[in-house]
Amino acid sequence: MIKEAKEDYKRHKADVEVNNRRVDVLDVEKKKFVHKRWMDVTVGDIIIVKKNQAFAADLLFLTAENEEGTCYVETMNLDGETNLKIKKALDETKDMRHDDLASFKADIECEAPNSRLYDFTGNLQLTAADGTSKKVPINPSAVLLRGCTLRNTERVFGAVIYAGGWRGARTHSRTQQRWCGACLHGVRGRRARWTHEGAYTAMGTV
């Protein structure tokens, strides 16, 4: 019993440390990035992730500080693999620069959080200045998972799709971590809507 209590305390301390890490989040009104704790990041936030930092939430990869719109991530915490994975932003967003992010408007329709690490079903609904819209499928290579670490890339910008406190995720299996980190915002259906302003509404089962 004493040993188990010590282990629980260690896990609790680790969870507190993770939830209180800082990340730069875009303040739309001030049009600048401000510090937030991981536990305060919400769906719809646009965040910066810097080299060798872990992702604070599951993100749609918007753009990187390179012309290709690519980055490398380490997924060892999720799948145990040590080789780096290459990720690629959508062609429709990869050329956005820092100043474009505050005016970026879009909806994301996507499935509810699940344990699949290499699959993703969702669409990005882009709205142009003239009011016209375009639906773009989101492929798994454009999704950056919480628990992964950015490598060999100076900075990337991503929009939070799923978020939430770890709440002991470290004690679960790798395939459970994504669900534990994401479901705490109350996703109910298989499809959810995200907007840049931070609105998030479950759309029901599809």
pLDDT tens for each residue of the chain, 206 residues long: 776 766 776 776 766 766 778 889 999 888 889 999 888 898 889 999 999 999 999 999 999 989 899 999 999 999 999 999 999 999 999 999 888 888 888 888 888 877 888 899 999 998 877 778 889 999 999 999 998 999 999 999 999 998 764 333 332 333 333 333 333 232 222 334 444 444 443 332 22
Structure confidence at residue 156 (pLDDT): 96
Structure confidence at residue 186 (pLDDT): 29
Among 148, 150, 144, 154, smallest CA distance to 65 is for 154
**Which residue has 């509810």 as its token pair?**
112
Structure confidence at residue 178 (pLDDT): 34
Q: What is the pTM of this model?
A: 0.75
Report whether 147 contacts 59 (CB < 8 A).
no
Structure confidence at residue 9 (pLDDT): 62
Structure confidence at residue 15 (pLDDT): 67
Structure confidence at residue 69 (pLDDT): 95
By the 10 Å C-beta count (0-12 exposed, 13-18 middle, 19+ buried), 76 is classed as: middle
Nearest-angstrom CA–CA distance, 165 and 142: 22
Structural domain boundaries, residue 87: 2-204
Structure confidence at residue 14 (pLDDT): 67
Domains of the chain: total: 1
The domain spanning residue 136 has which CATH number?
Answer: 2.70.150.10
Structure confidence at residue 43 (pLDDT): 87
Structure confidence at residue 108 (pLDDT): 87
The DSSP code sequence of 16-34 is HHHHT-EEEEEETTTTEEE
